[in-house]
A = this chain, B = another copy of it.
Amino acid sequence: MIERHVPPLMNVIHSQIESASCPESIKEAMLYSLNAGGKRIRPLLLIMAAQSYKPVTNSAYKLGAALEMIHTYSLIHDDLPSMDNDDYRRGKPTNHRVYGEALAILAGDALLTESFQLVSDISEDDMHPRDIVHITRRMSESAGIRGMVGGQVADIEGEDRALRLEELEWIHRHKTGALLEFAVEAGGILGGAPEGDIAALKIYAENLGLAFQIKDDILDVEGDAEIIGKPVGSDTDNQKSTYPSLLTLSEAKNKLDAHIQTAADALRTVSCDSSALLSILQYVAKRDR
């Protein structure tokens, strides 16, 4: 059961934020979005990867909490009026609708900052300081202009025109793929995986990330609005370039299957028991929200 890791993960998140001596309002705004649900895909991927090599330690939850904070900060900022201008996220009012724009921006800033503090607090018993520095570097690469933020900028700039398939894929590889790939890589490093395994884990994560995104696009076409927690068909209404719109729905499904297959093939080469990682892959392929 993957989900058993969620309560200890949320404990780390809560104690990290609640221990700070600062105005209560900002803690509340940060925790509101962290508690708003979501699939916790990034921390769970990290924990699964780490656990494939070694029993899970508190450091895995810290690193998982860091990933969830980065993901949550990106959602808060993406939802702002000057970006996607979304009023609802996961069926709840977005952060700025509850706390106002100023506090929402600062809550995002604070979550991003806190994520690096969590990494710096990883125990030396679990990771050599040199590896903690390496994790810091890779995390900032994945989250910044070389990764997530770069993808978000390209996404905004591509909004009002038809994208080519390569452009759409570049956006996904950066906007969502980079952080997913880092999650699996970091889990492998935390678990002490051999170099060759790390390379295979990254291929797995890269293809999992693209599959995840194609599935998102497919769900927007044929998902159930109540299960997804947002309206169906919004991509079409917004004339957004998606895999189904660029490829047809049936070709998008073929592409999804191909990425799932490549990821599964990569998993077959690793030296650990990869059944947990395989189950996440199957979950992404079959999820209905």
Contacts and interface: CB of A to CB of B under 8 A. Distances in A.
Nearest to A141: B117
A46 to B, nearest CB: 18
A21 B149 CA distance: 12
Given A83-B102, A105-B83, A22 B132 contact: no
A83 B103 CA distance: 9
A113 B150 contact: no
Q: Count copies of this chain in the complex.
A: 2
Interface stretch (A3-11, A34-42, A151-159, A253-261): A151-159
Given A77-B109, A109-B108, A120-B133, A153 B25 contact: yes
Interface in A110-137: 110, 112-114, 116-117, 119-121, 124, 128-130, 132-134, 136-137
5 contacts: A23-B154, A106-B152, A116-B116, A116-B139, A128-B129
A29 to B, nearest CB: 9
A73 to B, nearest CB: 8
A146 B144 CA distance: 23
Given A22-B145, A117-B144, A119-B136, 14 more contacts: A23-B150, A23-B154, A25-B157, A73-B109, A77-B109, A82-B105, A105-B105, A106-B149, A110-B149, A113-B145, A116-B116, A116-B136, A117-B141, A129-B133
Classify the interface of chain A: helix, strand, loop or mixed: helix
A80 interface: yes
Contacts of A30: 145
Interface in A155-187: 156-157, 174
A100 interface: yes
B105 A117 contact: no
A140 interface: yes
Contacts of A240: none
